[in-house]
Amino acid sequence: MHCGAAALLLLAFSTQCFAAPASKDVLAELRQLRDQSSDGVIHVTDDELKRFAAGKQRGWSLVVFLSANQVADNPQLAMGKLRQEFALVAKAFQQGPAPDTAFFVDMVPYIFVIGPNRKLSLTDMPIPNTEKLLLET
């Protein structure tokens, strides 16, 4: 496993400590989507990301992999390989001792974590302004 994938795993573990109880319905949906995924990564829409990341006191982290069709075929970025490593980390986390403390999701070239006690804010996301999602805070 590359250093980047290992760092993602450590980051996911470090952000899940002391999380408050989560909405049982949303948690059940996340589990179901993860279990239906072939690689442990849940593909989400903007609306789903808003719902899964809603509230500052949810009991899980979201580790988000954003990709874009415009960069998928660029060999210098190696997005395919990075996405495969992201899936390996997701599977490893899913088989660990606390699989429901972090869920790995993908969307539309950045990776960031939304911690369980953190309110979703556009200013916190490391995405250039032209590519920011329209997420309400």
Q: Which helix (H) or strand (E) holds 93?
A: helix 79-94
The domain of 93 spans 3-131
In tens, the pLDDT along 59-84 reads: 899 999 887 766 677 788 888 888 89
Both tokens of 110, joined, read 């950045």
Q: Return d(Cα 127, Cα 84) in angstroms, integer.
A: 21
Beta carbons of 56 and 23 less than 8 angstroms apart? no
* 88: pLDDT strictly greater than 60: yes
CATH number at residue 19: 3.40.30
Q: Model-level pTM greater than 0.85?
A: no
Q: Report yes or no on 137 lying in a domain.
A: no
Which residue would you say has higher pLDDT here, 77 or 125? 77
Q: E-assigned strands of 1-101?
A: 41-43, 61-66
Total of domains in the chain: 1
Q: Report yes or no on 124 lying in a domain.
A: yes
Look at residue 83 and give its three-state secondary structure: helix
Q: Percentage of the chain surpassing pLDDT 90?
A: 33
Q: Report yes or no on 95 lying in a domain.
A: yes
- The pLDDT score that the predictor gives to residue 117 is 75
Q: Report yes or no on 27 lying in a domain.
A: yes
In tens, the pLDDT along 19-58 reads: 433 478 899 999 999 999 999 999 998 788 888 988 777 8
In tens, the pLDDT along 107-124 reads: 864 556 777 777 666 555
Q: Report yes or no on 35 lying in a domain.
A: yes
User: Interhelix angle for 79-94 vs 3-15, to 10°?
Assistant: 40
* 93: pLDDT strictly greater than 90: yes
- The pLDDT score that the predictor gives to residue 24 is 86
- The pLDDT score that the predictor gives to residue 103 is 96
- The pLDDT score that the predictor gives to residue 127 is 52
Tokens 């590359």: give the residue.
Answer: 2
Please enumerate in sequence order all residues whose Cβ is within 8 A of that of 133, keeping only pairs 6 or more positions apart, or say none. Answer: 46, 49, 107, 122, 125, 127
